[in-house]
């Protein structure tokens, strides 16, 4: 896999090498097979016996209780942990949990950072990304002077601007109001269905079931279930130790593009 | 507020204008630097011009430029608006190296021994820094290592001062540590120019990596930026660009800290957008400060020239307080 940065492997990973190299990188045609017996952070084992396939045209949600290893799984998929193969940054975009910008860049400047792997300053992918994320009008606003939801969309637009084949997004809808969260999940499903592979860590189980094609349930660092989203409820309920059943109360209905201002 | 947002957006259009303005003021100050002597304003004879004013003026511009770009790179690399070359202990170890040379009286026999000692100190400090910070380098580990190196350098410097062989040596070390560009020769300028220009060349190449780092180290790595290598180059480049200056001009604080803050309202906050301008602004700022030092005897009854490092601190500290008060809470 070619890397555009001369002489560099991304050596941001600061933990001991423990995992087995078990995949050959992402291909837009076949997706990515990820198989690791053990993934550790330092000398603390976090993930065991992980075997996953990420497919194009699929929105995959990773769910599970706090500490189940969801973030570690995503960082391993992104090649940011030792022993995991580095990814081609032009093909794989990674959005960490609580992503924020240290400086008050404009929304457009944040999105343009997604072009760094391509080493160009192409305008059209950035404009497209801002458009997809619904923040084109905010292009010249500073990220410290817009709402939390808008700032999160700016971070997402950075990932879109890379025009990757694989999106790895850690809780892209955390702290968003229900409409904004649904709008983003809707966008991610559409993105997946345009031929990309999208992986989201998702705490909101109802959003995962409603929008994802497939759900991987992690529990205690192991894959407890890897099932189509519509069949995931029993596995999710057992992972969280909650009962499940039919809720007779009225609820918010799925996101409708035409009816929503987003 | 809207005007400020617009200012950030106009960055691409404004950058050439800001650079042109800074270059023009730098040229004017360089000329003034040749015209203005200690308390006098007149064209001097050739000897004074070449032996006294030219080295002093060039040195102020070089040292200021190195400090300015070091501050801009460190603030970007560490994602910390309070970072400056002094934070990493480079200034401290350069001072220690010079003090050790003073202590053994080497400077009396061989004039360049003092700046060479300072350079050696900066190099040792930078090596310590990278060794302390370890192989797995992050911004936080670099700051912690810098604090450790600073504290160690300060302790050893205090030891060297308390063991100073005679009161004259002590006074001389103290004055040198206060920082200044007066009474340096062209060979001092050459000695400082080599590391400063080399360090600046290294730092100027880090722009895209610094931009990516503004989203955090994980994101930068996922964008293909070699994070550890970028931080190591930032530390090494700073050691050269700021350490080279400290070796010849002593401890001049606040320039590296203040310059990026002055430029952000004009150029926006993208770290790479600040780099070229921070060289020009640092040089302009330190030249202006040194001109104030030269003109101070006209208004103040001073028996000794005002140390340049004292002036930059006296002007820089209130400025930083003003900036800190306007800074939004994280």
> Is A109 within 8 Å of B268 when comparing Cβ atoms?
yes
Backbone angles phi and psi of A194, in degrees to 5: -90, 15
* Predicted pLDDT at A259: 60
Mean of the per-residue pLDDT values for chain B? Answer: 85
* Residue with more model confidence, B296 or A127: A127
Residue A226 pLDDT more than 60? yes
Cα A215 from Cα A59, distance rounded (Å): 9
> B-side interface with A, Cβ within 8 Å?
1, 4-6, 8-9, 11, 76, 79, 136, 138, 208, 211-229, 268-271, 328
Q: For chain A, what is the mean pLDDT?
A: 85
Nearest CA in chain A to B78: A102
Maximum separation of any 2 CA atoms in chain A, in Å: 60
In terms of Cα–Cα distance, which of A93, A40, A43 is closest to A69? A40
* pLDDT score, position B2: 47
- Chain A residues touching residue B133 (CB < 8 angstroms): none
User: Is-contact B36 B242, C-beta < 8 A?
Assistant: no
Q: Over the stretch A137-195, which tens digit does the pLDDT of each residue have?
A: 999 999 989 988 899 999 999 999 999 999 999 999 987 888 889 999 999 999 999 99
Q: Which residue has the higher pLDDT, B298 or B70?
A: B70
**pLDDT: is B284 or B135 the higher one?**
B284
Residue limits of CATH 3.40.50.300 in chain A: 19-91+166-244+253-262
Domain A19-91+166-244+253-262, what fold? Rossmann fold (3.40.50)
What pLDDT is recorded for position A12?
38
Model pLDDT for residues B85-119, shown as the tens digit of each residue: 888 888 889 888 888 887 777 666 776 787 888 88
Q: Which of A4, A93, A141 sits opposite B5 (nearest CB)?
A: A141
Residue B40: beta bridge partners?
B37
Question: A-B interface: how many C-beta pairs under 8 angstroms?
Answer: 121
Backbone angles phi, psi at B319, to 5 degrees: -60, -45
CATH annotation of B2-326: 1.10.3470.10
Mutation target among B73, B206, B219, B273 for the A interface, most CBs of A within 10 A: B219
Out of A100, A103, A108, whose CB is closest to B271? Answer: A103
CB contact (8 A) between residue B268 and residue A106 = yes
- For B209-243, the pLDDT digits (tens) are 999 999 999 999 999 999 989 988 998 899 899 98
Residues of A in contact with B76 (CB under 8 A): 103
pLDDT score, position A86: 85
In this structure, are residues A243 and A253 in contact, taking their beta carbons and an 8 Å threshold?
no
**Closest residue of chain B to A71, computed from CA coordinates:** B218
What is the percent of chain A where pLDDT is above 70?
87
Q: What is the pLDDT of residues B163-173, one digit of tens each?
A: 877 777 777 77
How high is the pLDDT of residue A43? 80
**Cβ-contact A131, A22 below 8 angstroms:** no
The DSSP letter of residue A60 is E
Please name the member of A110, A117, A155 whose beta carbon is closest to the beta carbon of B223: A117
pLDDT of residue B129 exceeding 90, the answer is no
User: What span, in angstroms and rounded, lies between the C-alpha atoms of B153 and B147?
Assistant: 10
- Report residue B228: phi and psi, to 5°: -60, -45
Q: What is the pLDDT of residue A168?
A: 96
Q: How far is CA A127 from CA A106, A115, A137, B67, B264, in A?
A: 13, 12, 10, 37, 25
CA angle B211, B212, B213 (to 5 degrees): 90
Give the whole-number percent of chain B exceeding pLDDT 70. Answer: 90
**A160-169, A248-257, B19-28, B200-209: segment of lowest average pLDDT:** A248-257
Question: Does pTM top 0.90 for this prediction?
Answer: no
């Amino acid at each position: 896999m070619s890397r555009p940065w001369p002489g560099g492997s991304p050596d941001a990973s600061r933990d001991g090498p423990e995992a087995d190299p078990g995949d050959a990188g992402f291909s837009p045609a076949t997706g990515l097979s990820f198989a690791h017996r053990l993934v550790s952070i330092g000398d603390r084992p976090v993930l065991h016996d992980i075997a996953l396939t990420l497919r194009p045209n699929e929105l995959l949600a990773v769910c599970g209780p706090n500490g189940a290893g969801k973030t570690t799984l995503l960082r391993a998929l992104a090649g940011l942990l030792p022993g995991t193969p580095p990814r081609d940054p032009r093909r794989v975009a990674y959005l960490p949990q609580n992503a924020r910008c240290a400086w008050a860049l404009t929304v457009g400047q944040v999105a343009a950072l997604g072009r760094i792997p391509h080493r160009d300053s192409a305008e059209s992918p950035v404009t497209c990304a801002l458009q997809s994320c619904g923040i084109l009008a905010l292009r010249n606003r500073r990220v410290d002077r817009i709402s939390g939801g808008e700032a999160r969309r700016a971070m997402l637009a950075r990932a879109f601007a890379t025009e990757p084949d694989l999106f790895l997004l850690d809780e892209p809808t955390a702290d968003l109001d229900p409409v904004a969260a649904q709008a983003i999940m809707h966008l991610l499903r559409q993105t997946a269905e345009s031929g990309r592979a999208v992986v989201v860590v998702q705490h909101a189980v109802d959003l995962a079931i409603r929008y994802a094609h497939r759900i991987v349930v992690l529990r205690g660092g192991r894959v407890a279930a890897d099932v189509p989203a519509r069949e995931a409820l029993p596995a999710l309920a057992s992972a969280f130790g909650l009962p499940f059943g039919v809720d007779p109360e009225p609820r918010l209905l799925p996101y409708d593009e035409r009816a929503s201002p987003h | 507020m809207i005007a400020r947002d617009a200012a950030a957006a106009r960055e691409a259009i404004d950058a050439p204008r800001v650079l042109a303005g800074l270059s023009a003021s730098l040229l004017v100050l360089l000329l003034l630097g040749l015209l203005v002597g200690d308390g006098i304003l007149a064209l001097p004879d050739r000897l004074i011009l070449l032996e006294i004013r030219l080295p002093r003026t060039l040195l102020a511009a070089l040292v200021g430029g190195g400090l300015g770009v070091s501050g801009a790179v460190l603030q970007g690399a560490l994602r910390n608006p309070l970072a400056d070359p002094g934070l990493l202990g480079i200034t401290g170890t350069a001072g220690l190296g010079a003090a050790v040379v003073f202590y053994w009286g080497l400077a009396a026999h061989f004039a360049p021994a003092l700046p060479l000692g300072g350079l050696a100190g900066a190099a040792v400090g930078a090596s310590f820094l990278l060794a302390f910070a370890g192989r797995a380098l992050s911004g936080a580990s670099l700051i912690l290592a810098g604090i450790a190196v600073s504290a160690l350098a300060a302790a050893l410097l205090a030891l060297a001062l308390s063991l100073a062989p005679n009161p004259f040596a002590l006074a001389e070390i103290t004055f040198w540590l206060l920082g200044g560009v007066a009474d340096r020769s062209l060979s001092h300028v050459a000695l400082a120019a080599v590391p400063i220009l080399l360090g600046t060349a290294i730092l100027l190449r880090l722009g895209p990596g610094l931009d990516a780092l503004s989203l955090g180290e994980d994101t930068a790595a996922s964008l293909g930026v070699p994070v550890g290598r970028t931080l190591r180059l930032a530390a090494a480049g700073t050691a050269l660009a700021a350490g080279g200056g400290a070796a010849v001009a002593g401890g001049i604080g606040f320039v590296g800290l203040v310059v990026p803050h002055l430029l952000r309202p004009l150029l926006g906050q993208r770290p790479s957008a600040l780099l070229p301008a921070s060289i020009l602004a640092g040089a302009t700022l330190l030249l202006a400060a040194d001109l104030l030092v030269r003109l101070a005897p006209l208004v103040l009854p001073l028996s000794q020239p005002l140390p340049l490092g004292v002036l930059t601190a006296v002007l820089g500290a209130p400025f930083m307080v003003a900036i800190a008060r306007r800074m939004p809470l994280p």
